[in-house]
Structure 1
Amino acid sequence: MSLPYKVAITGIGAISVLGITLDEISNSLKQGKSGIAIDPERTELGFESPLTGMIRGFSSKDWLNKKQRRSMPDYTIQAYAASVQALSQSGLKSEDIQNDESGLIFGCDSSCIAALEQVNLLTTRGATSLIGSGTIFRSMTSNITMNLNTLFKTKGAAWTISSACSSGGHAVGQAFNLIASGQQERIICGGAQEINWQSMCSFDGLSAFSTRISNPQQASRPFDSERDGLIPSGGAAAIILERYDLAEKRGANILGFITGYGFSSDGEHLAVPSDTGLARAGAKALKQAGLYPSDIDYICAHATSTIAGDAAEAQNIKSLFNGCSPRISSTKSMTGHELWMSGASQVVYTTLMHQGGFIAPNINLKSIDSNSEGLNIITKTDNSGPRNALLNSAGFGGTNSCLVLSF
């Protein structure tokens, strides 16, 4: 389907377990450096797995004052910081985004810690009037866009997409569609995920997490025959998307393009992904981009290091790319599973790969799983960047998002 406008990426930003600046993140990707560690508190609390992605060196106080932070949990402040990074890179000034043609769309599917905080405050203080006004906003899933809208004073789109682990991918995809169709001129989009034990305790109880605690940095093993589960992670990623003709006119540095967005749902199982869902979404994304499978030279895989998930994605890739051999890696081998953030962080990571002229490795792949045999999975840094990349993300309930990035 042909759309009226091309959509350019003019800025990226992230607060990640791989680093809190773009240079740090790019270096970690290139070096295959893991951001996974053991959380001692989870060990003390009786978690089956104390493993988690860990953000180091980030202080909320460096970005916002106490009054501003009152209505914002950590992940929203990280989303703000990532957005400021992206806006700075884009060259857009405050007045350029304070209008009806500038919007905000982020992916986020829960706000666990804030809801628990208000219950604890009530228990401690003994009256609802003593909880504080900021807590109602902190506990809303739309917390990111409502706060960023107030801070940046954008007047266009302002909403949050909730679709499990494909939330970030769908947020970028919808932003792309709104700009490509002429409904918005520029959008700050992305995804964020809280990192705390409170949001992960029930998930841990499902035995879904890796228990390879003897070497945390080798615990996330997408496509490996000895993988034993994912590692929870998070942070925030932000992308500035603009109508290409307007970005070019103002002399913006064009980092790349979103050229296709595809989506699908499995319509099958609540937690087990299908063998067709991602392939159908990928086919839609390729069609919109006007590309064939043979045009894709890199797949940033969703692969989270779970037995069923990696196997299903491998089958989907084989089905869509039958006869083709694009390079494949899962950045989750280094970051762990960034959940609601992951579809957006893939855009940041892949753009950094293009800028640096490399493909990040799928680390910890020692013995390829039989379901993944025949795939061109990169285990060492490839010193040739992506030209056309397909980014996969999938979530509970069988919701799938695929993005095509072209450089």
Structure 2
Amino acid sequence: MSDTIVITGTGVVSPLGVGSSTFMNAIRQGQSAINKRRFSSGLSVGAQFTTPFVSDIDKKHTFLMDPVSHYAVVAAKEAMLMAGLENFPPSKIGVMMGVGVGGIETLDIAYTKLLTEKGKVNPFAIPKIMPSAPASNISILLGIKGPCFSVTSACASSAHAIINGALWLQAGLVDAMIVGGAEAPFAPGLLQAWHSMRIMADDTCRPFSIKRRGMVLGEGAGTLVLERLADAKKRGATILAVLKGFSANADSSHMVKPDETSIMKAISLALDNASVSLNEVGHINAHGTGTALNDVIESAAIATVFGDSRPYVSGTKGATGHALGAASALEAIICIHALQGQWVPPTLNSLGVDEACSNINVVAETIDNKDYSVAISHSFAFGGLNAVLIFSGLE
């Protein structure tokens, strides 16, 4: 990378905790947001809010938002305040948000009304459903006038948003970027679609564990403020971490089956881009969906790339669920704050590591006071869309 890119703020909305500090404390303490909730389509197991989400955003604005946008605005506001961007020139800040499915709750309600109430669909349905709505609402409510758009690449969406935000900064087009992702997938129609794939667990998410039964969905938003190092230093910003390097590639093989060779390539490309050696890596936050196939393929790829160096591997979706378009951002935030605090997050709900995944060093419980300098976050999405982010402390 040319200009060094740093993170100066983070924001989180999650059923596990609203606010970066609350969220990270819950991760460190081994808490899980996974619960059960009844929908018209049946019982949903997921990391989901059990009551409607409320915030200090005025109701005249939230009335015009699907929950996915509401989550995004609250997370972006926290990140912006943490970074101290309140008086930053609005035209010099950009927004790039990853979204997997967008305003699906609003869409589900619209179809229900169409079928049962003679077509009385909310006139604001379209601007609530649009995948670009989270980015637009951040721009409108936080007064940001720079480039603003969304990235949609399944559960690598927010990693791709982070990567592209860094590239915009390196190109000199903006001086700060609010990047991340948001998702609110708990709508009966989408839940049924996921369950039809037969990859959903009916109890909980157990990444890399024996007797794992699949993934569970999650929701929320994660946002990061990115800046060039020189600019952040000049204005006296607190630097949380360095975005040391990244990569993105495509399997070009299958819509839902991951490719081990492509994953290995993505990891290796990111290490090369970051100029990081294998032994420098202390923690990997794995994609770790808890499905039978994905965990085995990911663990094999990690084992092949890292060999005897065996960094600690966490699968945090046992705490957060799989938040789709928000997953990469939430997991990047976990990497950043755990690295900053020198601890390693746990992999929850394990009944013992599956023998087929025992070739990696899975962390079952939080490891405190662990001295390491580099953390990696994996995102390997449906459609064969891969992204790897590498973070370090400021040297």
Give the TM-score normalised by the residue count of structure 1: 0.91
Tell me the SS of whatever aligns to 1:84.
Answer: helix
Whether contact under 8 Å (1:8, 1:258) holds in the other structure is: yes
Q: Which amino acid aligns with 2:141?
A: L
Tell me the SS of whatever aligns to 2:76.
Answer: helix
- 1:142 and 1:322 mapped to 2: Cα distance? 41
1:145-174 deviation digits (Å, cap 9, x = unpaired): 122122223222211111111111111111
2:19 to 18, 21, 25: 21
2:94 to 103, 117, 123: 103
- The aligned residue for residue 398 of structure 1 is 384
Q: Which amino acid aligns with 1:86?
A: A
1:42-100 deviation digits (Å, cap 9, x = unpaired): 4x6345xx31112367743x33223212331112111110111111111111x41411x
- 2:281 and 2:74 mapped to 1: Cα distance? 32
Whether contact under 8 Å (1:97, 1:152) holds in the other structure is: no
Tell me the SS of whatever aligns to 1:202.
Answer: helix
Tell me the SS of whatever aligns to 1:192.
Answer: strand
Counting matched residue pairs gives: 390
- 1:211 and 1:126 mapped to 2: Cα distance? 35
Q: CA deviation at 1:126?
A: 4.5
1:376-398 deviation digits (Å, cap 9, x = unpaired): 11112111265211110011111
- 1:259 and 1:37 mapped to 2: Cα distance? 36
1:3-32 deviation digits (Å, cap 9, x = unpaired): 1x1111000010112211222212211111
- The aligned residue for residue 135 of structure 2 is 145
Q: Which amino acid aligns with 1:81?
A: V
Q: Please, which moves more after superposition, 286-295 or 221-230?
A: 286-295
Q: Which amino acid aligns with 2:318?
A: S
1:308-328 deviation digits (Å, cap 9, x = unpaired): 110110111112212321111
* 1:162 aligns to 2:152 (yes or no): yes
Whether contact under 8 Å (2:217, 2:323) holds in the other structure is: yes
Whether contact under 8 Å (1:19, 1:56) holds in the other structure is: no
* 1:117 aligns to 2:109 (yes or no): yes
1:235 to 220, 238, 245: 220
Q: CA deviation at 1:232?
A: 0.8
Q: Which amino acid aligns with 1:54?
A: Q
Whether contact under 8 Å (2:10, 2:82) holds in the other structure is: yes
1:353 to 338, 362, 373: 338
Tell me the SS of whatever aligns to 1:80.
Answer: helix
- 2:52 and 2:233 mapped to 1: Cα distance? 34
Whether contact under 8 Å (1:278, 1:402) holds in the other structure is: no
Tell me the SS of whatever aligns to 2:218.
Answer: coil
Q: CA deviation at 1:254?
A: 0.6
- The aligned residue for residue 134 of structure 1 is 124
- The aligned residue for residue 311 of structure 2 is 326
Whether contact under 8 Å (1:108, 1:167) holds in the other structure is: yes
* Residues 204/97 of structure 1: CA separation in 2 closer, same or farther (3 Å cut): farther
* Residues 23/262 of structure 1: CA separation in 2 closer, same or farther (3 Å cut): same
* Residues 377/76 of structure 1: CA separation in 2 closer, same or farther (3 Å cut): same
Question: Unaligned 5+ residue runs, structure 1?
Answer: 213-218
Tell me the SS of whatever aligns to 1:64.
Answer: coil
- 1:83 and 1:302 mapped to 2: Cα distance? 23
* 1:206 aligns to 2:197 (yes or no): yes
- The aligned residue for residue 215 of structure 1 is none
- 2:93 and 2:333 mapped to 1: Cα distance? 20
Q: Which amino acid aligns with 1:17?
A: P
Q: Identity across aligned pairs (percent)? A: 26
* 1:264 aligns to 2:262 (yes or no): no
Give the TM-score normalised by the residue count of structure 2: 0.93
Q: Which amino acid aligns with 1:301?
A: A
Tell me the SS of whatever aligns to 2:361.
Answer: coil
2:363 to 368, 372, 378: 378
Q: CA deviation at 1:204?
A: 1.1
Whether contact under 8 Å (2:339, 2:374) holds in the other structure is: no
**How big is the alpha-carbon RMSD for the aligned residues of Structure 1 and Structure 2?**
1.9
- The aligned residue for residue 208 of structure 2 is 223
Q: Please, which moves more after superposition, 198-207 or 82-91?
A: 198-207
1:232-381 correspondence to structure 2 within 5 Å: 232-381=217-366
- 2:372 and 2:171 mapped to 1: Cα distance? 26
Tell me the SS of whatever aligns to 2:353.
Answer: coil
Whether contact under 8 Å (2:280, 2:372) holds in the other structure is: no
